[in-house]
A and B are shown apart, each in its own frame.
Chain A
Amino acid sequence: MHLDVGTWFAALIDWLLANFGWFFNAVSWLINLLVGEVANVLIGLHPFLIIALLVAAAAGLTRSVGLSVFSVLAFLLIYSMGLWTDSMSTLAVVLVSVVFSLAIGIPLGIWAALNNTVSKVVRPILDLMQAMPVFVYLIPAVFFFGVGMVPGIAATIVFAIPPAVRLTELGIRKLDVELLEAATAFGAKRSLVLKDVQLPLAFPSIMAGVNQVIMLALSMVVVAGLVGAGGLGGVVVQGVAQLDTARGFEGGLAVVILAVYLDRVTGGAQSLGDVLRRRRVRKEQRAAATTTPAAAREAATTAAN
């Protein structure tokens, strides 16, 4: 017996297209607009200015001299390989995809963390999304959005969502029960517990999710080159199609540079929360050092009475 699962899926796609065409058009328009704007900025500004900004971001977020030096050299290398424009359009695509993936994935992860039913429903879907060969995403994406940059981005967004959901849910769920009890025992509403306790403490885990989303998006960008998404993916696909090893390698190298840069920088951002908090606390301590003795005396006398 042969079950025609594939045909059913195709029928579903047709049905969606017939009934939700307006939705896909709207998404298409929005994505085009956003990527266009971001790419305009990245490509429009002088490359050296962009490089300076990227290096400053690396230095600020990671405080690592090594990474800063690497960034300078690596981006200059991209520039001198003549891949600057392609790299920046890829970066624009990655940034927009990541923003969409996170905008869907993080709230979904929060919801799944707070609601067991949602978690149970979402988990197998995420498994499916991650296990499915990436090319499969491209086929319906092309149906929905035609050929070009948008289907590549749409496929990238879907492909990159799972880690955002999973790591957000994990970060919130693994929280010490006693802390949840403490917040609840003092009468806090669910929303305050989430905002004041769960999310801040889940921040490193959520940032790990962001990091993975970026890496997945970047890896998908090359694949998206197959449907004409352009950028570095286009360069690599061209290299493969023309059996041009040199060109393909250069495109690949630029992807690797972007990958290493984004990975290290977002990795460093995981501990950013801690760094900022400690700085604030130190500042308060210094500020309080002058006023505290008087305040303490005052409190002591109040207590004695």
Chain B
Amino acid sequence: MNTVELGTTTADRTVGAKQTGAPFIRVENLTKVFQLTKSGRSGLFGRRPLKGFTAVDKVSFEVERGQIFVIMGLSGSGKSTIIRMINRLIDASDGTITVDGKDVRSLPASELRAYRNQTINMVFQHFGLFPHKSLVDNVAFGLKVRGVDKATREAKAAEALTLVGLGDRIHAMPDQLSGGMKQRVGLARALATDAEILLMDEPFSALDPLIRKDMQELLIKLQRNFKKTILFVTHDLNEAMYLGDRIMVMKQGKDMQNGTALDLLEAPADPYIEEFVAEVDRSRVITAGMVARRSPAPAGAPAPAGAPAPGAATAPGAATAPGAAAVGEPGERVQEDVVLHELLPIFAAGAGWAAVVDKNGAPIGKVTAEEVFAALAPKGFSNAS
């Protein structure tokens, strides 16, 4: 039995690996040491030895195609430096960056420009819109760089602006827009080029909370259609948990923990992260899908992103919680992105479990009331408490 299960799991993994190839983005031991220049730091008297400041310290991570990978940390923890090394706005001091099999750090100038233009685009905290260009010209900029003719690029830009809800204002100037609208333009500009990767450096941090929520929802909606690979920087854990397929927590240039939202909530790797997650409203962050996908026992390895066979997915759940499954009335089918908060009424009405399906209606697994309550209980950093 065990061997069979292990066998299938390995098979699943290889299939998953074949689908995605090697990790789309692989970063290894990435390091940035800023050289503090004489004029920068040394005092009036002198030639104090110039020592570097390590802004990013041996950070490694991998991002799969179509994932939203969130880099989270307080201000100054090196988040912006990391994503700027990935499109080489900042040159790394050490380590490797591989994107789609290409070694980014050794790209010659012309290939680097092509890489930036076609593979990886960026959305900025303060929008980075060109104030002297109309919205359509802003959005068409990447295509202009690519040498696309005016009519085509303007049509494409207008289309991208329509996607973000600004289709009727394509000739407006950036300074006529509110912050949220400006960032919609920033988003459209990155979408118009069809680049697969988006770097987003605190794109919503400068916005009011309500607008921020709108923008997060817009991003999720767009992501459903476009399946970009997104590196998203934020200092807001709620935002990280809402958007991130995986979250990497940074502190003073170091990677403190890298995992799913649930991983951070269930097993914060150190007191620093525990403090962070203590403020999170778990019931609004943890989704049915997260609980259903979580491996209850070591044998049931985490389900790969490619949906496993329905039978295989339900088997571990039935094995670990047979009582619940047997006793409780089968609840409703719920979508995987339903947060636990919305799930509670189902259990309050007496259901013992709910079947969880993905957005295509394919079953992922099920959640029991016990699992939900367990997920909602705060957990401390295991060594500290």
Assess the B116–A181 pair: CB atoms within 8 A. no
Q: Say which one of A13-21, A183-191, A216-224 lies at the interface with B.
A: A183-191
Q: Which residues of A contact B237 (CB under 8 A)?
A: none
Q: Which residues of B contact A277 (CB under 8 A)?
A: 132, 173
User: Which A280-302 residues have a C-beta within 8 angstroms of B?
Assistant: 281, 284-285, 288, 292, 295-296, 299-300, 302
Assess the A299–B159 pair: CB atoms within 8 A. yes
Name the residue on B nearest A277 (C-beta).
Answer: B132
Q: Which residues of A contact B126 (CB under 8 A)?
A: 176, 178
Q: Does residue B158 face the partner (Cβ distance < 8 Å to A)?
A: yes
How many A-B contacts are there with CB distance less than 8 Å?
97
Interface string of B159-178 (1 = CB under 8 A from A): 10011000110111100000
Assess the B146–A281 pair: CB atoms within 8 A. no
Q: Say which one of B71-79, B117-125, B355-363 lies at the interface with A.
A: B117-125
Name the residue on B nearest A282 (C-beta).
Answer: B171
Assess the B167–A179 pair: CB atoms within 8 A. no
Q: Which residues of A contact B115 (CB under 8 A)?
A: 187
User: Which B73-99 residues have a C-beta within 8 angstroms of A?
Assistant: 84, 87, 89
In the complex, A273→B131 CA distance in Å?
Answer: 12
Assess the B121–A185 pair: CB atoms within 8 A. yes
Assess the A179–B142 pair: CB atoms within 8 A. no
Residue of A182, A288, A303 near B130 (CB, 8 A) is: A182
Q: Which residues of B contact A186 (CB under 8 A)?
A: 116-117, 121-122, 141-142, 145, 189, 193
Name the residue on A nearest B113 (C-beta).
Answer: A187
Q: Does residue A41 face the partner (Cβ distance < 8 Å to B)?
A: no
Assess the B134–A181 pair: CB atoms within 8 A. no
Given A178-B128, A182-B130, A187-B146, answer yes or no on A299-B116 (Cβ-Cβ < 8 Å). Answer: no
In the complex, A182→B87 CA distance in Å?
Answer: 11
Residue of B129, B130, B158, B199 near A295 (CB, 8 A) is: B158
Q: Which residues of A contact B145 (CB under 8 A)?
A: 186-189, 192
Q: Which residues of A contact B144 (CB under 8 A)?
A: 196
In the complex, A200→B132 CA distance in Å?
Answer: 7
The size of the chain A interface, using a CB distance under 8 A, is: 31
In the complex, A186→B122 CA distance in Å?
Answer: 8
Assess the A292–B168 pair: CB atoms within 8 A. yes
Residue of B121, B128, B141, B171 near A288 (CB, 8 A) is: B171
In the complex, A292→B172 CA distance in Å?
Answer: 13
Assess the A181–B128 pair: CB atoms within 8 A. yes
In the complex, A187→B119 CA distance in Å?
Answer: 10
Q: Which residues of A contact B158 (CB under 8 A)?
A: 295-296, 299
Q: Which residues of A contact B142 (CB under 8 A)?
A: 186-187
Given A192-B145, A299-B167, answer yes or no on A185-B87 (Cβ-Cβ < 8 Å). Answer: yes
Assess the A182–B163 pair: CB atoms within 8 A. no
Assess the A185–B89 pair: CB atoms within 8 A. yes
User: Which A186-205 residues have a C-beta within 8 angstroms of B?
Assistant: 186-189, 192, 196-197, 200-201
Q: Does residue A278 face the partner (Cβ distance < 8 Å to B)?
A: yes
Q: Does residue B278 face the partner (Cβ distance < 8 Å to A)?
A: no
Assess the B128–A182 pair: CB atoms within 8 A. yes
Assess the B128–A179 pair: CB atoms within 8 A. yes
Could you tell me the distance in whole angstroms from the C-beta of A176 to the nearest C-beta in chain B? 8
Question: B117, B118, B124, B130: which has the most chain A beta carbons within 10 Å?
Answer: B130
Assess the A303–B173 pair: CB atoms within 8 A. no
Q: Does residue B114 face the partner (Cβ distance < 8 Å to A)?
A: yes
Residues of A within 8 A of B (CB): 176, 178-179, 181-189, 192, 196-197, 200-201, 273, 277-278, 281, 284-285, 288, 292, 295-296, 299-300, 302-303
24 A-B Cβ contacts within 8 A?
A179-B130, A181-B84, A181-B122, A181-B128, A182-B122, A182-B124, A182-B130, A184-B89, A185-B116, A185-B121, A186-B145, A188-B113, A188-B141, A196-B144, A273-B132, A278-B173, A281-B171, A281-B172, A284-B171, A288-B171, A295-B158, A300-B162, A303-B162, A303-B163
Residues of B within 8 A of A (CB): 84, 87, 89, 113-118, 121-122, 124-132, 134, 141-142, 144-146, 155, 158-159, 162-163, 167-168, 170-173, 189, 193, 199, 225
